[in-house]
Structure 1
Amino acid sequence: MTRIVAGTAGGRRLKVPPKGTRPTSDRVREALFSSLEAMMDLEGVRVLDLYAGSGALGFEALSRGAAHATFVESDKRAAEVLKANARELGFGNTTIAHRTAEAYVAGEGEKFDVVFADPPYAVSDDELQKVLHGLAHRLAVDAVLIVERASRSGEPGWPAVVEPLRAKRYGDTAVYWGQVRSDG
């Protein structure tokens, strides 16, 4: 069962796509958001949830005060689950883009304060690096990027404007943090 950990929708359950996704565990989300809220106030931020799956990361951010979340998901079934979760939770402040992460970041549009990238473990380091580099022009000043990968994967190849902050392992999962440099 995947649920929202805290905030206005705390305790509410999320639907999960039938297959092909790996939702971030409640334990990892709780630790991740505890660290994120120690770094910044989530009130009013704009969030991008790449490779969104069930949307657990973006919906958690909305529950904790984010102004808007954009969910990017290439799988049609997962995109339908995202829409159902947004309706069920009553979050109208969402955009759901049924596209690949590569296609989404190549486009123009709004800038984001927080970016979650939780690609399938099968996504290669090179593919992820292309997405992160393509995203550079969509990052707000001081934006925080959080990348979730298999523990066996190395640190992502950050764009030049992003300073690596830290990495934390949770069993088979590793979470990598980066932030837009103040001189970037």
Structure 2
Amino acid sequence: MTRVVAGTVGGRSLEVPPKGTRPTSERVREALFSRLGHLGVLDGARVLDLYAGSGALGIEAVSRGAVHATLVEHARVAADVCRRNARALGLTDRVAVVAERAERFVGRAAVAPWDLVLVDPPYDVSDEDLAQVLLGVTGSLDPDAVVVVERAARSTEPTWPAGLERFDVRAYGDTRVWFAEPAHPGADGGAGDPAAPGD
């Protein structure tokens, strides 16, 4: 069973698609959102959850103070699960679900800039495809936004496009999570310790 870890709907159960997704474990979500809370990016945030699966990451963000989350998931079955989860938790006014491929969605300009982008692609998404998605979101970020990429620990670091710089990376068991931010003039970039352990 998957649950929302904390916040206004903490402890509530989430439906998970029957196949084809890789839900983020509660342990990883707890560590990830603890880090995001420390960074101060959750309160009032506009969140984009790409490759949403069950919607657990975006819903967790809303539970913890984000004002709105857009869940993007191209698999119809999974997108329907996202909608049912939002409805069951009473979050339909704060959670929108878009049944579309991530690369197509990010190819359009956002109505307003994103404060937090959560990217948890399936294993079969190539490094090249991931790089294109990251490039697509770069132009729609708030200057203080955070972009999070979650992949298997054995995966190579994402190829960051011009305009995005990695500032931290954490390992949680067999999962590795990279944190990036919009590049600022004069920043040295990549300051995070690539060997930083998980919590």
TM-score range normalised by the length of the shorter chain? over 0.9
Q: Does 1:69 align with 2:65?
A: no
Consecutive unaligned residues in structure 1, runs of 5 or more:
none
| Deviation at residue 10 of structure 1 after TM alignment | 0.5
- The structure 2 residue matched to 1:118, chosen from 120, 134, 142, is 120
**Structure 1 residue runs of 4+, over 3 Å off?**
none
What residue is the counterpart of 1:170 in the other structure?
172
Q: Distance in 2 between matches of 1:118 and 1:24?
A: 8
Q: Which stretches in structure 2 are left out of the alignment for 5+ residues?
A: 188-199
Please give the secondary structure, in 1, of the residue aligned with 2:106.
helix
Q: Which residue of 2 aligns with 1:24?
A: 24
When normalised by structure 2's length, the TM-score is: 0.90
Q: Deviations over 1:21-75 (max 9, x none)?
A: 0110000000000011001142211000000000111000000110110000000
Give the AA of the match of 2:34: S
Tell me the residue number matched to 2:132: 130
- TM-fit CA distance, 1:179: 1.1
Say yes or no: does 1:101 pair with 2:132: no
Q: Counterpart of 1:52 in 2: which secondary structure?
A: coil
CA RMSD of aligned residues (A): 1.2
Aligned 8 A contact 2:46 2:67 in 1:
yes
Contact residue 41 and residue 116 of structure 2 kept, 8 A? no
1:142·1:182 contact (CA, 8 Å) conserved in 2?
no
Aligned letter for 2:95? T
In structure 2, give the amino acid aligned to 1:126: E
Aligned to 1:15: 15
Instruction: Check the 8 A contact 1:142/1:181 in 2, yes or no.
Output: no
Cα distance, 1:104 vs. partner? 0.2
Q: CA deviation at 1:181?
A: 2.6
Map residues 24-43 of structure 1 onto 2, 5 A cutoff. Answer: 24-43=24-43
Whether the 8 Å contact between 1:74 and 1:99 is mirrored in structure 2 is: yes
- SS of the counterpart of 1:106? coil
User: What is the CA–CA distance in structure 2 between the aligned matches of 1:40 and 1:16, rounded to whole Å?
Assistant: 29
Aligned-residue identity in percent: 55
Decide which structure has greater helix share. Answer: 1
Number of residues of Structure 1 aligned to a counterpart in Structure 2: 184
